[in-house]
Structure 1
Amino acid sequence: MSGDPEKSEQPERAAVHGLSADFVAGLVEWLTIPSIGNDPARLGDVARSATWLADALRRDGWPDVRVWDEGPALPAVYASWPSADPSAPTVLVYGHHDVQPVDPVEEWTRPPFEPVVEGDELFGRGASDDKGQVAMHLLGVRAHLAATGGSAPAVNLKLFVEGEEEIGSPHLPELLDAHRADLASDLVVFSDTPVYARDAPTVCTGQRGVYGAEVVFVGGSSDVHSGRAGGGVPNPVTALARLVAALHDERGAVALPGFYDDVVPPTDAERADYASLPFDEDAWLANSGGARVAAGEEGWSTLERVWVRPSAEVNGFVGGYTGPGLKTIVPARAEVKLSFRLAPGQRPERVAEALRVFVAEHTPPGIRSEVIPRGDGVPPYAVDINHPAVVALREVVEAALEQPVRFARSGGSGPAAVLHQSLGVPVVYLGVTLPDDRVHAPNERVVVSQLLRGAEAAARLWRVLPERLT
């Protein structure tokens, strides 16, 4: 290195800066590939995206690069780069290269697969979710090697980039099981989450799980004229409405039996971090479907309600006649779709059983009820904030972003818990994208400087982890 103090004191930052133009050009090229996993017409593009990534990894010097395209799973990419130190810890980086559909395409102000850089912003589908953050890790490895002068990383690095995350990772458990030896590691670094805000950066420490089901109430064998039978037979719509009304108690808590028994609350330190984050309720409501007021379980803040507490939501309710005008009937059938976000400690199968008990308790005489699960659900996950890898991750993100970094959670669900359960190791989150990147929406973008600082954080992390995980 030269005598430049900035370069000598922060070699990772200098290395990232020197490689930034090549990084942006490569990401732009990758974003032109419309790897939409849920579109049968685009399955060839998903394979092309995997090939692009594999070729980029080989150009960067990764000694073992493979495209896993066997079985029903869409193509995934695996790569490994052993450390020169055989005793170094092994770290697996997770991301995905499939992207969301672009509908409604008429709302895009730029073609979604013709990426363009405007100032510090890169527009295109997948720029933030998740090709940008996968590419960030490729840059981080290159910067790490440049900063340390090594020919191999300080940790044994592995990369696993799946092609089905945007369709719920349906084949991920089988893929993990089939390649268990390749994916064996001491730690997973999960890069598919944002920070809270550009001026209030955070490290995510967990995600909620989810379980969904439909409840069906059936009365008679067919609809009947209300003048003939109204007031004389059970109405399944009315009965199901009573069940829905009983789903929460007067304090906003979910009323399923034993629903909270397994919930592990956040630590006091995490709650203090949440409370210290700048939160504009009106702005949050405006970005949450335009709701007029915040509501939910008493005793918890809005951020806590959507990050660390479980919830129950009615996603849809249908029964009887819903066409124009009035049709005077007693309906024969009613259905409600329910989803439950799960907090750490809860298990989808336990919530499924609690729902069955709740429905049985709220099924009146003369009504036949059925609970129809919609999948097995996704378990929640949270990592111990005192784990050495979490402490190290927070330090390197603070150094890269040059701001205090607090803890946060994600209210959504993802495959972190599946990775944790299958591989049996902690999962930590390194994500630097922003909440207003419009992921899953028209005009998705990423802030390039955020990705560059994320790459710097990753480069620093590989240098410090060996001494932290011994």
Structure 2
Amino acid sequence: MSSNAERDFVTAHLDDLHADLDAWLRIPSVSADPARAGDVAASAQWLAQALRRTGFPVVEVWPTAGAPAVYAEWPSADAGAPVALVYGHHDVQPVDPEEAWTYPPFEPTRVETPAGPELHARGAIDDKGNVAFHLLGMRAHLAATGRDTPAVTVKLLVEGEEESGSPHFVELLHERRDRLDCDVVVVSDTGMAAADVPSAVTAMRGLADAEITLRGPGVDLHSGSFGGAVPNPLHAMASLLAGLHDESGRVTLPGFYDKVRPLTERERALMGRVPFDEAAWLAGPAASRAATGEAGFSTLERVGARPTAEVNGMWGGYTGPGHKTIVPSEAHAKVTFRLVADQVPSDLAEQVRAWVEQHTPAGIEADVHVPAGGVSPCASDLDHPAMDALLRSIGQAFDVPGEDVLFTREGGSGPEADLVEVLGAPLLFLGAGLPTDRIHAPDERVLLPMLHRGAEATAHLWRELATVPFAGR
């Protein structure tokens, strides 16, 4: 690789990044576990101290009705400089089942691999690693440019409840709207297609969920005396869920595709440029025997650009040792839906209820619970000049021209659409994760050279964004 001032500084200070992660990853900031509330608060305090140590003159811990968020700001001394807001989160997923981890989840462990050194721990990439590289990236930007303040005003908002659905995030955005005003939002909670494929995420899917309960007999019944003569809720649930997709892999909810924005030829062509080895994907991160899904779309399109429905859990009756010969009184299922551009999470409640009503047999009573809210899909403007600045920054970190940086889509969901709606700013994604990082799974890890490149890319980004003609500046 070639040399530049930003890279030279990052390379000379990698131990600082590694030490920060070693300390931060030891804090078990699991927001979904009420018993870990103190740890989530400790994680926020750790980040606040790290930001002050980096040099941010404004650092605050913002309380919410749930877990605290961390806010920081470093104003540029340049009159009229653009304002960039970085979003991330400091909470992490639960570690269950802990016995499936090769190394203790909250004792960061460095592992040498043919691809380079990996760091194993919960939160190593999702999202503490993606946030931590900004600490080194800011220092590299200042050192490389000889500045005392960044070329753009940089704000950070790092929430503590993303892994719990960000239940208080929108309220926080409205409460602190005046402090969060910005020209561009930079999300660091994503990744790239591969370690040797510099790429930028351009869209994230939305999310809605539902819980379905089917009730039959008033009590569990003896299967010998009543089986075959009364409706079995588990049979009905199995049939219901089996019909969630048609023979072409399309979701059968009425109206589900009515608002789906079709992929353009340009979008499909851009996704088609991303190298993808389906056999390696199946054998590796997917850990599956076959690829499947909606007919007429590639695997990358299915996981990043098409809406889906997944059964997350189904239960009822007796599941203990041996046999209990019953017709169960109830059956339950949890289902989630990933949404794409122009779909609205609130539409799912009516669609799910209509679908369940159409497929509930006589003698079965159905109850559908669809929580309010959900997560809206979001997308970047590929033609905004800030996107060119991002591509140039990533390209410099990978020693390729900006036009060689590929576009990908993130199949997961987060509160990015809320940021866009409340703040009214264009959206960029800069993350260093890889499909092999096992986020949300045992043995989460990050390839450390990716974090190093993330730090360099963000150092370039503040310089590049300063040249963007944002409206009103």
> How far does the alpha carbon of each residue in 1:335-383 deviate from its partner, in whole angstroms, 9 at most, with x for none?
3322211112111111221111222222344432221124532222122
1-structure distance, mates of 2:105, 2:309:
35
- Could you say if the C-alpha distance between residues 31 and 289 of structure 1 is closer, same or farther in structure 2, counting changes exceeding 3 Å? closer
- Which position in structure 2 is the counterpart of 1:3? none
**In the alignment, does 2:81 pair up with 1:88?**
yes
- Could you say if the C-alpha distance between residues 445 and 146 of structure 1 is closer, same or farther in structure 2, counting changes exceeding 3 Å? same
The 5 Å alignment of 1:13-412 reads: 13-69=7-63, 71-117=64-110, 120-225=117-222, 233-287=230-284, 290-320=287-317, 322=319, 330-374=327-371, 376-403=373-400, 404-412=404-412
Contact residue 285 and residue 438 of structure 2 kept, 8 A: no
- Could you say if the C-alpha distance between residues 227 and 406 of structure 1 is closer, same or farther in structure 2, counting changes exceeding 3 Å? same
Contact residue 190 and residue 429 of structure 1 kept, 8 A: yes
Local SS of the residue matching 2:256: coil
Q: Which amino acid aligns with 1:183?
A: L
Q: Which amino acid aligns with 2:57?
A: P
2-structure distance, mates of 1:236, 1:460:
59
Greater shift, 164-173 or 149-158, is seen at: 164-173
Q: Which amino acid aligns with 1:81?
A: W
> How far does the alpha carbon of each residue in 1:60-106 deviate from its partner, in whole angstroms, 9 at most, with x for none?
2211111113x422222111111122312211001112223344444
1-structure distance, mates of 2:130, 2:234:
47
2-structure distance, mates of 1:18, 1:341:
42
- Which position in structure 2 is the counterpart of 1:429? 429
Q: Which amino acid aligns with 1:280?
A: D
- Which position in structure 1 is the counterpart of 2:5? 11
> How big is the shift at 1:246?
2.8
2-structure distance, mates of 1:109, 1:330:
41
Greater shift, 263-272 or 459-468, is seen at: 263-272
Greater shift, 260-269 or 179-188, is seen at: 260-269
- Could you say if the C-alpha distance between residues 372 and 155 of structure 1 is closer, same or farther in structure 2, counting changes exceeding 3 Å? same
Greater shift, 294-303 or 438-447, is seen at: 438-447
> How big is the shift at 1:287?
3.9
Contact residue 126 and residue 444 of structure 1 kept, 8 A: yes
Local SS of the residue matching 2:418: helix
User: CA-atom RMSD, angstroms?
Assistant: 2.6
Q: Which amino acid aligns with 2:457?
A: A
2-structure distance, mates of 1:226, 1:74:
48
For structure 2, list consecutive stretches of 5 or more residues without a partner in the other structure: none
- Could you say if the C-alpha distance between residues 104 and 372 of structure 1 is closer, same or farther in structure 2, counting changes exceeding 3 Å? closer
Contact residue 346 and residue 372 of structure 2 kept, 8 A: no
- Which position in structure 1 is the counterpart of 2:450? 450
Greater shift, 88-97 or 271-280, is seen at: 271-280
2-structure distance, mates of 1:467, 1:454:
20
> How big is the shift at 1:16?
2.2
Q: Which amino acid aligns with 2:120?
A: F
Greater shift, 459-468 or 116-125, is seen at: 116-125
Local SS of the residue matching 1:215: strand
2-structure distance, mates of 1:116, 1:227:
56
> How big is the shift at 1:45?
2.8
Q: Which amino acid aligns with 1:93?
A: V
Contact residue 270 and residue 408 of structure 1 kept, 8 A: no
1-structure distance, mates of 2:316, 2:104:
41
Aligned residues: 463
Contact residue 274 and residue 408 of structure 2 kept, 8 A: no
Local SS of the residue matching 1:467: coil
* TM-score between both structures, scaled by the size of structure 2: 0.89
- Could you say if the C-alpha distance between residues 116 and 325 of structure 1 is closer, same or farther in structure 2, counting changes exceeding 3 Å? closer
- Could you say if the C-alpha distance between residues 235 and 128 of structure 1 is closer, same or farther in structure 2, counting changes exceeding 3 Å? closer
> How big is the shift at 1:198?
0.8
For structure 1, list consecutive stretches of 5 or more residues without a partner in the other structure: 1-5
Greater shift, 260-269 or 117-126, is seen at: 117-126
- Could you say if the C-alpha distance between residues 209 and 87 of structure 1 is closer, same or farther in structure 2, counting changes exceeding 3 Å? same
1-structure distance, mates of 2:90, 2:234:
44
> How big is the shift at 1:387?
2.1
> How big is the shift at 1:137?
0.9
1-structure distance, mates of 2:318, 2:8:
67
